[in-house]
Structure formats: structure tokens, C-alpha cells
Structure 1
Amino acid sequence: MDRIIYTAAGGAARVLEQQAVISNNMANVSTTGFREQLAIYRSVPVVGHPGMPTRVSTVTSTPGSNLQQGTMVETGHALDAAITGDGWFSVQTPQGEAYTRSGEFAVNTQGLLVTQQGFPVMSADGAPVEVPERGAVTFSGDGQISALGAGDNPNDIQLIGQLKLVNPPAADMVRGDDGLFRVAGGQAAQADPQVRMIAGFVEKSNVNPAEAMVGMIANARRFEMQMKVIQDASANAERANSILSTN
């Protein structure tokens, strides 16, 4: 009987773990550039039972992310940008270089182009992008950045750098706890001149709200089923004890 309870309890725990992943996806439906996290069940051998080599348990694993492109939304903001097709923006974090699809950029008090999280956006030469004070910034399709200073002649527009756009193999990309992606092994990806972007747009999350909601409901039902198995096993054990007990 304890094996039934152990198996059902393990299944319920796995359902809760997957529910947490789906809930996180659902919470980021409106997050710019968010990539849906995938969660699956997989079997693992039960260690410590040499007499029962066929027994297995299950764990919830997150093998990767859905890297399909999200919906492009036009904002008209000069500092907004979205990558068309495959590719990533490069940003500098305390843990090293990381990559994101979120192109909602801003200029901080130090005059650096940064993400909404405050991470500096990297240029093709590996340095943060510096924006002239009160300068009007424009992006080209290949990531080149031009700026026109306040009060300058429109003909005096200057090229201040080029965004580092990368496109490492999808299999090498690892999601971090901060929501950013990095190349497995910690090395920096090389700039890819084939990556293209469009200014005045942002890419929305690629999470499908309907599918996420259906997944949450299905997991809730699975959890109820596991709890029912535990309740029935407990009730059966009580009946067996009552039969075997002596008055």
C-alpha cells in the first residue's frame, strides 16, 4: 500500500512542478521578448532497490524554450527595436554577456543604451553604446546606430556604433534565472551580420494564453486524480487494519 501512496505522491509533486512552469509562462504573456519555457516528464531509475531494477520514478525537466518568434507590435518609439527572424540582442550583465529578444531600450543617466532591467546594450566592438546627451537615436536594419544631437543640423547626423546582433545555435542557448539566455559553457557568441532588426517595433511574448490556460486546467485535474488515489489507498489500508485487528 505504501508503494501506491509513494507513486501517487511523486506524481502529484511532478504535476505541481510543471504547473509552476506553466504559471510562469502565463504570468509573462505580456512580457516583451519572453520565450515560453517547456516542461516535460521523464522517467528515472529508482536507486537503492537492487532487487527491483525495473522500478522507475518520474521528474519534471525543462529541456529548453520555445524560440518561435512572437508577434511584432509597432510602437513608434525611436528606442524600440525588434529582431526579424532568428537572432538576439547582446547585453552586459554582472555574470557576463547575455542575450535577449526584448528591444525596449532606454537611455540611463550615464548616457548608456540599456534594457528595461538596466543592463547595458552591447555594440559590435564589445563596449556599451553611448548616446549623446538629448540625442535623437535611429536604428538601421543591420543594427547601426545614428544620433542627432539637440539643435544640430539634420545633415550632421553621426554614426555612433552598431548593435551586437548574434545568432548562436539554438541548442547552445541556456535560459538563466534572470530570464536572459547565455551560450552553454559561458563563452560569448560572435556577431552575425545576417541578423536583421526593425526599429519602432517590439516583439511580444510567444506564449499562447489559451494553450497555457488549458495546460493549467489539465494539470489541476491530474493533481486531483493523484490525491484521489492517495485517499483511496489510505481508506483501503484502514479497512484492512480493521479486518486484521483483534477485539
Structure 2
Amino acid sequence: MLRSMYAGISGMKGFQTKLDVVGNNISNVNTSGFKKGRATFQDLLSQTTTGASGPTDNRGGVNPSQVGLGSQLGSIDDIHTQGSSQTTDNPLDLQLEGDGMFVLDTPDGRAYTRAGNFYLDSEGNMVNSDGYYLVGSDENSPLNIPEDATSISIEKDGTVTYVDGEGDVQDDQQIGIAIFSNPEGLEKDGGSLYLESNNSGAPDLVEPESEGAATIVSRALEMSNVDLAEEFTEMITAQRGFQANTRIITTSDEILQELVNLKR
């Protein structure tokens, strides 16, 4: 069989995966805290037909002759650039400007997120939309705001401030931020959550605005960093790349048919 046919198959598989990544990006264009993905490719092993030789006294060197055998998926990266800001005027909507993630206590352990839409449960605990507790800078959870509290505000350094039922100002709680040496190494776990992996590094829980951590902006949310213009361009690239590889396969098939038709 022709090597070009198998090269075309490998190219089709790669561009199909690229299209899957682009489709996921577009579907999450309005997801708070979402970080877009990017597919990269590598060439497969090349078959050497003639090896290289060095120059001699009476002859120059000769380069190797190799035939490539197709492409393969190199990586699917998460691009952790800053997303755009959306003002909501909700004091419990929090945006991170800079590096770091909110820390959540889940039944399966700690999880991390850039989605800052938080709520109060029936006991006044700060939770996300799935009911996971928001962790403070002292590694304790949950952060609690009493039912009779008024004038709730969250400062840039994560300090939770409110006026209690007796009219006293309370500011003894602070939101924590997790810093990773390699945030691209985190594993997506659904629900806008990330989990620590072997290559993300251990989380360092710090106070906002310290040690290079993000600043918290209240009454706003960080939106997805997906650029629709870029994604549609990548979609066209994936479509045309897939189409070109199908042409390789059909052309190879026509050549094989001509070979078969030599014997009639």
C-alpha cells in the first residue's frame, strides 16, 4: 500500500482532534473563568531511504533522503491568559486579575477555579454554584456571612467586610488564592474546576495581592478568554486541512486502482 494513504489518515485524525478542541472553545465562549485549549502537531517517524555520508578527499558529503510517514497530535494546551471583565454589581461576584485561583473544598478534596460567581447558602456560607465551600487564606472553610449582615463588600486583598446585626464592622475573614508554578499542568475536572496534577506543582495558598498573587475585583466576573475570530479561523484551517488529507487518500486510491487495472 502507498505510504501517502496512511499519511493522509494520520492527518485526518489530527485535524479531527483539532476541530474537537475548537468546538469545545466555541461552546464555552460565555463560560466564566474558562481557559481555551490549543492543539499542536508533530511529524511522525520518517523512513530513511538513503543515509547521510560525510565528505571525503575526492567527493562532497551527501544529505540523508527520508520520507515522512504523517503527523500526530503533539499536545492539547490550556492557555491561561486573562479573560475579559464583565460587571455584575453583585458583591459576591469576584474576578481575579493576575495569577492564581480560588480554592474550593469538595467532597473529593481541594479543587481550583477562576469562576468567581459565589453565593450564600442557608447558613451564610460562601459557596459556588455546586455548593462547594470557598477556602480562606488561613486554609479554613467555609467563609461565613451572617444572615442579618448588611453592607457586604470584598476588598482587593480578599478581606470580607460586613456590618453585623449589632452594627459592628467585621473584617476578620480573608479569601485565599492558590498559586501554581505551572498552571497549564492542571487537569480540567468539569464544572469550571481544575485539579492538581503531577506536573502542575503543589499549590501555594497565599493572600491576594501578595507574592505575585492576583487582585480580587468585586462586583465583576472574569469571562472566557476565547476569541471567536481566532476560533473561526482555526476552524477553517482544520476543515481545509481535513479536506486536503481526504484528497491525498482519494488520489492514492486512484493510483492503486490504475495498478490493479494493469491486469485485465
Flag whether TM exceeds 0.5 (same fold): yes
Deviation at 1:25, TM superposition (A): 0.8
Q: Please list the CA deviations of residues 126-159 of structure 1 after superposition, one character each: whole Å capped at 9, or x if unmatched.
A: 222233235443211111112344xx25x42323
Q: Does 1:143 align with 2:162?
A: no
Structure 1 segments of 4 or more deviating over 4 A? 49-57
Q: 1:158 — aligned with what?
A: 170
Aligned length: 240
Deviation at 1:50, TM superposition (A): 11
Q: Residue 33 of structure 2 aligns to a residue in which SS?
A: coil
Q: 2:241 — aligned with what?
A: 222
Deviation at 1:56, TM superposition (A): 5.1
Q: 2:60 — aligned with what?
A: none
Q: 1:239 — aligned with what?
A: 258
Q: 2:85 — aligned with what?
A: 72
Deviation at 1:184, TM superposition (A): 3.3
Q: 2:206 — aligned with what?
A: 191
Distance of 1:161 and 1:122 partners within structure 2: 10
Higher mean alpha-carbon deviation, 122-131 vs 79-88, is at 122-131
Q: 2:37 — aligned with what?
A: 37
Aligned partners of 2:7 and 2:69 also within 8 Å: no
More strand by share: 2
Deviation at 1:4, TM superposition (A): 1.8
Higher radius of gyration, 1 or 2: 2
Q: 2:5 — aligned with what?
A: 5
Aligned partners of 2:95 and 2:116 also within 8 Å: yes
Q: CA RMSD in A?
A: 2.7
The amino acid across from 2:161 in the alignment is S
Q: Please list the CA deviations of residues 158-211 of structure 1 after superposition, one character each: whole Å capped at 9, or x if unmatched.
A: 235211112222356413232433443374423244132111111111111100
Higher mean alpha-carbon deviation, 190-199 vs 221-230, is at 190-199
| TM-score when normalising by structure 2 | 0.80
More helix by share: 1
Q: Please list the CA deviations of residues 200-228 of structure 1 after superposition, one character each: whole Å capped at 9, or x if unmatched.
A: 11111111110001101110111111111
Which stretches in structure 1 are left out of the alignment for 5+ residues?
Answer: none
Aligned partners of 1:172 and 1:184 also within 8 Å: no
Distance of 1:148 and 1:76 partners within structure 2: 19
Distance of 2:228 and 2:238 partners within structure 1: 15
Aligned residues with identical type, % of pairs:
24
Deviation at 1:76, TM superposition (A): 0.3
Q: Residue 62 of structure 1 aligns to a residue in which SS?
A: strand
Q: Residue 233 of structure 1 aligns to a residue in which SS?
A: helix
Aligned match of 1:132 in 146, 156, 162? Answer: 146
Return closer, same or farther for 1:29/1:234 CA change in 2, 3 Å cut-off.
same
